[in-house]
Structure 1
Amino acid sequence: MKGNHWFIAGIIAFLVLMFAIECRLPKKFVWNPTFSHYDKQPFGCAVFDSLLSSSLPKGYSLSRKTFYELEQEDTALRRGILVITDNLHLTNVDVEAMLKMAERGDRITLVGSSFSRILKDTLGFECGYSSFNPLALKKDAIALRSKDSLYWVGDSAIYPRQVFCFYPQLCQSHFFADSISCEIWAKKTIVGGESHPVAMSVSWGKGEVMLVSTPLLFTNYGVLDGKNVAYLFRILSPMGGFPIVRTESYMKETAQVQMSPFRYFLSQPPLRWALYLSMASILLFMIFTARRKQRAIPVIREPENKSLEFVELIGTLYYQKKDHADLVRKKFFYFTEELRREIQVDVREVAEDERSFGRIARKAGMEAGEIAAFICEVRPVVYGGRSISEKEMKRLVDKMNEIINHI
């Protein structure tokens, strides 16, 4: 095996080894909330969306349309619209479109830790907000500290009263709903023993608007957190009889980017390192093989000019055959073609002789009679088959060359 082949085999073996090591290393989790359909980290929604797609009887789909775009769709089929994000900031147009959909009978579920002022004023509620601290969550999880309790206080005829336990960092936001006519589904107790709702429903027209202040529970972490997934299905149960559409239009733009194959490579540590090592190996290979290898330079001879040899061969053949008339005939055909191309005169047309001879004489600066005498002399040789001597052949050929040179 040549040296280059050994080098390539060593690089491939090294890449396979590094890939195997990276696959066996502990996975590092990213605790930033994205709520993205493509994010398999704890606070993405890849597992959440997969679970709902396979379990909801009427169907579950994703969309990037705003409430205005969804409201403009002319459909008689009532739907459930789900929005999950950290900070839900709706414009006046969004709120108006959302309420029109609810009035027609759609079920709208808004899950967020904070909401825009226009939505609060329209529905008449307030929301207490605390920022999420992933470091505090990891400390509580490592120390096995006690969890906060969420109390399900909805209609006991549908679901029995139950307590769900979550880490405090996952459910820090809550509602103040004293001045709103709503149905409270879940509450949590804060410091001082006071309880506030974290999930409630507001009837609007033929439909309703559900407000939930715990978006982190609707992520991969919340779905996989023991038996607490039942809490999520209780929240989504009013929409269970409708096809549900989760719109990602109100998420951060970075979370809405689709995962291309290259982006997927970069998102997985083993594949990312394999890509980096491949690029580094290719660069090293280019550096070590960039030196030019000297090879024997072949001697390229200049092509020989065979034209003169060919002319001599043809001339020898005519000289041996003594066919002087045929040589004049070929020269005459070339002569007539030159006249036709240069001055548009065809001396082969006898009916046009007077005009042709006059035009040739003017262009060549010769007498028309001299041209006429020459053409009349050469035609019997060309068309009549009259034999001529070598001396006559030279004279006729020289005369044709003279006329062509003067034109």
Structure 2
Amino acid sequence: MIKFTYLKYSSILVLFVLFASCKKTNWQENFREKEKSPFGNYIISEEATNLFPRERITFLEENFYDYLLFDNPEDSTTTRNYILIKHSAYHQTKEGIDELLNFVSQGNSAFIALNFFDERFKEELEFTTNNLDKNVWNISALKELKGEFYLKNPAFGKEPFKFDRNIRRNYFLQYSDTKTEVLGTTVVGGEKVPNFIKVYHGKGAFYLHTNPIVFTNYYMLNGKEQYAANLLSYLPNQEVLWDAHIKSSKYSSNHKSQPSVFKFFLQHPTLTWFLVVSLIGLLLFMLFNARRKQRVIPEIEPLKNTTVAFTQTIANLYLNEDNHKNLVDKKIGYFLEKVRSKYLINTNNLNEDFIHKLAAKSGNELQKTKYLINTIITLNKRAECSEEELIGLHKMIKNFFNK
């Protein structure tokens, strides 16, 4: 077992690149080696040379299965470390798992930190997991998940490593006592349960962790880098294969079982001609249909009713000229015309008989009707009227017809 010193960050440069360059912080868990958001793996991958200062580090640009079996044919007797830190190993195929197991059994080591392990992989290494927060995906809900981790090795101290967010209650539930060693624990429900184990396999060993979030940029910049260094310190001093897990296998049966539809058509002459004729027919249909298609008829908006606007303009004109008498005469004329048309009463003589008939037919009180008619008679005889008299007449007529 080797000891690692504190990670040697270029603090000013890293902080500037990580936070100052982005307009809005992305709090999604992505675990990408080139991602500088809080939950990317940019810092841990950049500091790999400090974690393994004397070892060659290869960042895989292809699938691990393809690299090991086809793109790296050299058969070296030197052992190597394999590192995978991701949410889940969704690019792993059956052949890929078999090759990884074979790789470790030959004396190599593998450090794998995942939220979700493949079921077949768990069966082969005889362990099960329990993720109590497997259905928690919301950013605000994940923020509330705190954790407390311990490492068994006394060289790392007895004090817990505390994490303040995105720590799922994910731990190893069952494992083989004969080939498994518990290296670290987490507190779940007040009890310490294993979240970091070593599984011996053939001549090598797997180092498995259930919380890959501890390796992300957020915790590397918040004083938790020593915990990540302690975890990786279990790996022996040897060449490192760092799996960015960015591509599916080109050679596995899973890949070959999904042939291209066009490739299938081109394998058969009859289907090839069918495809060509269909494409030509489609192009001809689009061409002739486009020529015959009627132009879009422009929408003509209906004429707007400007009667109200015109009336307001005329009224404002009278008000601006202070011609209140003219407006009073028009209000009186409007009132008498409506009485004639609505109540069928002759308005030539505004006497007592007229007042009684109007009060009876309109349903207004006799006293209010008499006051309105007397006001109309008075204002009709005036040569000039004030603004207050105009407003008063307007309100009385309005209240009369609202009865």
TM-score (normalizing by structure 2)? 0.50
Alignment-derived partner of residue 218 in structure 2 = 221
Cα distance change of structure 1 residues 91 and 177 upon mapping to structure 2, 3 Å threshold: same
Cα distance change of structure 1 residues 208 and 25 upon mapping to structure 2, 3 Å threshold: closer
> Matched residue of 1:100: which SS?
helix
Alignment-derived partner of residue 97 in structure 2 = 95
Cα distance change of structure 1 residues 104 and 70 upon mapping to structure 2, 3 Å threshold: farther
Q: Write the deviation string for residues 16-70 of structure 1: whole angstroms up to 9, x where unpaired.
A: xxxxxxx989842101122112110001111111112344221333113333234
Cα distance change of structure 1 residues 84 and 64 upon mapping to structure 2, 3 Å threshold: same
Give the conservation status (yes or no) of the 8 Å contact 2:146–2:166: no
Alignment-derived partner of residue 134 in structure 1 = 139
Shift of residue 137 of structure 1? 4.4
Shift of residue 151 of structure 1? 1.3
Q: Write the deviation string for residues 266-290 of structure 1: whole angstroms up to 9, x where unpaired.
A: xxxxxxxxxxxxxxxxxxxxxxxxx
Shift of residue 148 of structure 1? 2.5
| 1:46 matches 2:24 | no
Task: State the alpha-carbon separation in 1 of the partners of residues 20 and 221 from structure 2.
Answer: 23
Task: State the alpha-carbon separation in 1 of the partners of residues 86 and 21 from structure 2.
Answer: 32
Shift of residue 85 of structure 1? 1.2
> Matched residue of 1:170: which SS?
coil
Q: Write the deviation string for residues 206-264 of structure 1: whole angstroms up to 9, x where unpaired.
A: 210111110111111121121x21111121112250122211236799xxxxxxxxxxx
Cα distance change of structure 1 residues 119 and 28 upon mapping to structure 2, 3 Å threshold: same
TM-score (normalizing by structure 1)? 0.50
Cα distance change of structure 1 residues 165 and 97 upon mapping to structure 2, 3 Å threshold: same
What amino acid does structure 2 have at the position aligned with 1:77? T
Give the conservation status (yes or no) of the 8 Å contact 1:86–1:112: yes
| 1:197 matches 2:194 | yes
Cα distance change of structure 1 residues 177 and 224 upon mapping to structure 2, 3 Å threshold: farther
> Matched residue of 2:47: which SS?
helix
Report how many aligned residue pairs link the two structures: 221
What amino acid does structure 1 have at the position aligned with 2:84? V
| 1:109 matches 2:111 | yes
Cα distance change of structure 1 residues 61 and 132 upon mapping to structure 2, 3 Å threshold: farther
What amino acid does structure 1 have at the position aligned with 2:108? D
- Identify the match of residue 122 of structure 1 among 86, 100, 124: 124
* Mapping for residues 217-256 of structure 1, pairs under 5 Å: 217-226=214-223, 228-249=224-245
| 1:206 matches 2:208 | no
What amino acid does structure 1 have at the position aligned with 2:158? R
**5+ residue gaps, structure 1:** 1-22, 141-145, 254-407
Task: State the alpha-carbon separation in 1 of the partners of residues 122 and 172 from structure 2.
Answer: 10
Give the conservation status (yes or no) of the 8 Å contact 2:128–2:175: no
Task: State the alpha-carbon separation in 2 of the partners of residues 124 and 24 from structure 1.
Answer: 46
- Identify the match of residue 64 of structure 1 among 61, 65, 69: 61
> Matched residue of 2:233: which SS?
helix
Higher-helix-fraction structure: 1
> Matched residue of 1:177: which SS?
strand
Task: State the alpha-carbon separation in 1 of the partners of residues 248 and 66 from structure 2.
Answer: 18
What amino acid does structure 1 have at the position aligned with 2:85? I
Aligned residues with identical type, % of pairs: 23
User: How large is the RMSD of aligned CA atoms in angstroms?
Assistant: 2.7
Cα distance change of structure 1 residues 41 and 118 upon mapping to structure 2, 3 Å threshold: same
Shift of residue 147 of structure 1? 4.3
Give the conservation status (yes or no) of the 8 Å contact 1:83–1:250: no
What amino acid does structure 2 have at the position aligned with 1:79? R
Cα distance change of structure 1 residues 201 and 70 upon mapping to structure 2, 3 Å threshold: farther
Alignment-derived partner of residue 185 in structure 1 = 183
Give the conservation status (yes or no) of the 8 Å contact 2:81–2:241: yes
Q: Write the deviation string for residues 192-211 of structure 1: whole angstroms up to 9, x where unpaired.
A: x2332111110112210111
Give the conservation status (yes or no) of the 8 Å contact 1:88–1:250: no
